[in-house]
Amino acid sequence: AGAMAAPPRSFSAAEVRSRCAQGACLVRCRRRLYDLSGFVRLHPGGEQLLRSRAGTDVSAALDGPPHRHSANARRWLEQYYLGEMESGDEQGFAAQNHAEAPQLCARYRGGVWVPQGYNRCLLPQDLVDWQKPLLWQVGYLGEKYDEWVHQPVDRPIRLFHSDILEYFSKTAWYVVFMVWAPVVLYLSWVSYTSLAQGNTRLFSSFTTEYSIPVHKYYFPFIFLLGMFLWSLLEYLIHRFVFHMKPPASNYYLITLHFLLHGQHHKSPFDSSRLVFPPVPASLVMAFFYGILQLMLPQVLGLSVFVGGLCGYVIYDMMHYYLHYGSPKKGTYLYGLKAYHVKHHFEHQKSGFGISTRFWDHPFRTLIPEETFEKED
C-alpha cells in the first residue's frame, strides 16, 4: 500500500491576513483556502475583481449572480488549494468588509506563483504521465481524449523527448513580432514599388483587351483585403481544423490534434505555447503564398499575402494578450478576453473568433450573451 497523504495544513485567520498583507491573494470557500496570487491577473477583471472578494467566502462568487463559473472553472480552482481554515476562524475571516479587502490583499507584484502544497488529488483525473512528453501518450486516451483535453490545467507541457524538437515547438510572444514585422514591412515595400511600375493587370491571362490595370494606389486596399481574408481563414482553421473531434480509434489524428491545438486547451496559460513558433509558421505561410501565386498575378498575390501576414501577426499578439493581459473593465479588449476565456472553460464548440468576433455572427457560433458577467 502506498503512503497515506499528509493531512491538509490548517491556517489561522491571523496568518491569512498576514499573507494577504504581504501581497498574496487568498480566498475561502467554506473552510477550504485557496491562493490565487499567481492567477489573479489572468482572470477577466484581473486583480480588482478578485481583490474585492479576497478574505470572503467565494462560494457565492462561484454560484450566484453576477458572475457564474463553469464546472471547469471549479476544477481549475482546486489547483490552488492551500489548506483549511482553523475551525471557528473562518467566520472571523469572512467578516472582513470590502472596505478592508484592498488592504488585506495588497496589489500583486512579481511572477506567477503556484503554491507547492496544492492538492493535486483534486485535479481532473490524470490519464497521462506528466513527467514524460505528452505527445506520444495522448493518442492512447481514445474515447477519453476529448473530455480530458477540454479540462484545462495550469502547468507547463512538454511535447517531445528531443530537446531540439521541444525548443522549436514553443516560443516567446515577442519573437513572432521581431521575426515577422520586418518581413511585412519589406514585402509591403516590394509590392508597392512593383505595382508602381504599371505592369500588373488583372484578368490578363483570360483577355488582354479587357484586363484591368492595378495601380500602386490600390495597394492599401489590397493589403486590407488580405487582412480581411486572414480573419476569415483564422476562423475557419480554428473551427474546423483546431476543433475537429478526432476519431477515438485513430491514434495519429488524436496526436495531430493535440500537437495543433489540443495542447493549448489543456494548458491555456503555458506562456511559451500561446503563439505560433516561426519555423512551423514559415512552412504554413509558404503553402498559402503558393496558392495565392497560382490564383493571382505575381505582384497582386504578394500584396494580398503581405496583408494576410500582417493580420496573422496582429492575431498572434492579440491571442497572447487575451491570455496574459489585464484590460480595463468595460473596454473592447476586456470583452474579448472574457469571450475567449469562456471559449476555453465553458464553450469550446463556439466562440472561435480571437482577434474579432465578427465571423461568429454569420456562422452562428457566437457565445450567448447571458453567460457573461453583467455590469454593475
Please tell me whether 215 is known to bind a ligand. no
Please tell me whether 323 is known to bind a ligand. yes
Please tell me whether 319 is known to bind a ligand. yes
Bridge-based pairing of strands 32-35 and 10-11 is unpaired
- Work out the angle at residue 357's Cα, subtended by the Cα atoms of residues 353 and 362, and round it to the nearest 5 degrees: 100
CA distance 5 to 12: 22
Asked if the bond preceding 362 is cis, omega within 30° of 0, the reply is: no
- The DSSP result for 275-304, as a single string, is S--HHHHHHHHHHHHHHHHHHS-HHHHHHH
Please tell me whether 161 is known to bind a ligand. no
Please tell me whether 238 is known to bind a ligand. yes
What are the Cα distances from residue 183, in Å, to 178, 180, 188, 346? 9, 5, 8, 37
Please tell me whether 265 is known to bind a ligand. yes
Q: State the burial class of residue 368 (Cβ atoms within 10 Å of its Cβ: 0-12, 13-18, 19+).
A: exposed
CA dihedral 175, 329, 76, 277 (to 10 degrees): -10
CA distance 352 to 142: 25
Please tell me whether 343 is known to bind a ligand. yes
If one counts every other C-beta atom within 10 angstroms of the C-beta of residue 70, the result is 16
The C-alpha cell 458572475 sits at 67
Please tell me whether 243 is known to bind a ligand. yes
- 180 and 312 in contact (C-beta within 8 Å)? yes
Please tell me whether 257 is known to bind a ligand. no
Please tell me whether 67 is known to bind a ligand. no
What cell does 347 get?
464553450
CA distance 109 to 112: 9
Please tell me whether 347 is known to bind a ligand. no
For the annotated binding site, the residues are 43, 69, 238, 243, 261, 264-265, 319, 323, 340, 343-344
For the annotated binding site for heme, the residues are 43, 69
For the annotated binding site for Zn(2+), the residues are 238, 243, 261, 264-265, 319, 323, 340, 343-344
